[in-house]
A and B are shown apart, each in its own frame.
Chain A
Amino acid sequence: MNDAADAPVPIKRLVGNGEHISLIAEEFGFARFESILEAQENASLRSARTNPHQLVPDDLLVIPDRESHAVDVPIDATSRIVIQRQRLFLRIKVLDLFGEPVASAGGRLETETVTIRVATDSEGLLHVQIPRNTKQAELRINDLVFTILVGSLQPESFTEGIRARLINLGCWAGQPQIDDVGTEGEFALGIELMQDELGLPVDGLVSSSFANQLLSKHGQ
């Protein structure tokens, strides 16, 4: 058998809907997601996705090998093992229907595995650590209920990325992931609403200037 045949076959992992790099790092036991992204085989994806937290379904990741190491532990005793895991935080600004911050409000965030008590600051900002493998959460602040799809936000260069940001900012832009004519009309309407809000010429089209300003207003 030659050396090539002996070499381990690299694991390839397609990104699925609602999956993000922290979730995949946890799945493969990497303390830091950068350990995956920095693999040489992922160079092209790295350059295509400037924000590593905004992967797109069907992006292909190559999972590098991990180095195994063993440690001595005392026999007939209990030992504490600490596993390093990068922390994952959710940062959301909560605004009411009039665009005013929902400030100093308490509530709770329910992920698939934990329920976390949360509170917004004086500017309506919520900053909370969530489990690394969270895909979806429900946020309840006062009487408001939001469903949060963690890791589903696509880059602004994608139609769905624009649509999701418009919806997050209160401009209805049609159902995500549907490309029929009616939805496209709603998408254009959402763009026009935001163009008006940003003081841009209202034409319902996505220009680079619009995309940049939308990104700036949305944050990320």
Chain B
Amino acid sequence: MLGHDTFRLRTPFEDLVVRIDRFAGPPSGEQRALARRAMSDLRFGVEGHDPGIVATAQKIVIALDGGGSFGLFSLRELGPLLIDASFETQLLRRLDEEFERGRLIVEREQLAPLTERRDLFEMPELGPPARQPVPETTFIAIRLVDQNAAPVPGRPFRIELPDGSSREGFTDPDGFGRVGGLRQDGLAKVIFLDVDELDFKSKNPVDRIIIPVGDEQESNEERLDDVRQALGKPPEETADQHFVELVLLDQDDVPIADELVVVVDASGHELIALSDEFGNVRVNGLIAGPVKIDLRNRDEWSLDEP
């Protein structure tokens, strides 16, 4: 709210300022057009139960009534969660009437760039969470990769600890899984719970592997080496440390989701990835050298040179 009689209507489409003028005459043609836009935005927000727009609509009506009640409802006592269809209808009808009478005036507001605009309703800023000391002494790190050595993120795993207890988690975007805060040494068993869902099948089944509990405070690369060592592979210093990132958009900058991308690294190793909902693709585990990509399900595409 800007003042007692002035309100900002923040919608997904634009920002409008609605002002109360109790002594105004019938609206002009331009005012009617702006009022229709404001009503469209209000209707969209109120019917969609947008709490910010509902609250603003309520405040406008309260202010019009001099802070009193509206119809059968005392708006001051109503929260956004208590609205029902009849309330919405009455609220919108009342606003529509006030625009029509000219008591509500709409003014355009210069739109801020999209990146600077805030969300539809204001959220209180949260401070950083209070830190609590966690007595971690040891951890277990694993990495799940497919037959092409590409990381497999978001997969549940269970780690059975030497004392018989177990801990569960999910692999991160780089295929890493980690449980910390362990106070015991010994051998642990790692189980990937839904590995059958993956398209590994008979080619390269993922084994249940046993990994020694390691020391704390290691970097991702060191964790990766731990995993390699546990799998009987020597630590690699240069291989599999490189990546490519792609952003797939159409000519109108609309992200392309679920697009299949084939990435071929310098060794001829072929990796397949899908773009996420924002059109982003990241492929890790590449060796140094030239990388080619191919969008095999598209006929016209190109690298956008800066």
Chain A contacts to B: CB under 8 angstroms: 28-32, 35, 66-85, 87, 104-108, 115, 117, 129, 142
Contacts and interface: CB of A to CB of B under 8 A. Distances in A.
Given A68-B294, A75-B243, A84 B36 contact: no
B250 A82 contact: yes
Nearest to B287: A75
A84 B264 CA distance: 23
B244 A75 contact: yes
Contacts, number: 118
B244 A73 contact: yes
17 contacts: A29-B295, A72-B292, A73-B292, A73-B293, A73-B303, A74-B291, A75-B288, A75-B289, A76-B242, A81-B248, A81-B293, A81-B302, A82-B250, A83-B248, A84-B300, A85-B250, A117-B12
B303 A80 contact: yes
Interface of B: 12-13, 33, 36-37, 40, 44, 242-252, 256, 259, 262, 264, 286, 288-304, 306
B10 to A, nearest CB: 14
Nearest to B299: A66
List the 6 closest A-B pairs by CB distance, nearest first. A31-B300, A84-B300, A78-B245, A80-B304, A29-B297, A70-B294
Contact of A71 (B40, B248, B249, B292): B292
A79 B246 contact: yes
Nearest to A132: B250
A82 B302 contact: yes
Contacts of B299: 29-31, 35, 66-67
Contacts of B248: 81, 83
B301 A117 contact: no
Nearest to B249: A82
A77 B290 CA distance: 12
Scoring B252, B291, B293 by chain A CB atoms within 10 A of each residue's CB, the highest score goes to: B291
A108 B243 CA distance: 42
B109 to A, nearest CB: 16
Contacts of A71: 292-294, 302-303
B300 A70 contact: no
Contacts of A32: 300
Contacts of B252: 87, 129
Given A31-B298, A82-B304, A85-B251, A73 B36 contact: no
Contacts of A30: 299
Given A68-B296, A104-B33, A81 B301 contact: yes
A79 B298 contact: no
Contacts of A108: 40, 44
A22 to B, nearest CB: 13
Nearest to B294: A70
Given A31-B298, A82-B302, A77 B244 contact: yes
Given A75-B290, A75-B291, A105-B36, 15 more contacts: A29-B297, A73-B244, A73-B293, A74-B244, A74-B291, A75-B244, A75-B288, A80-B246, A80-B249, A81-B247, A81-B304, A82-B303, A84-B250, A84-B300, A117-B40
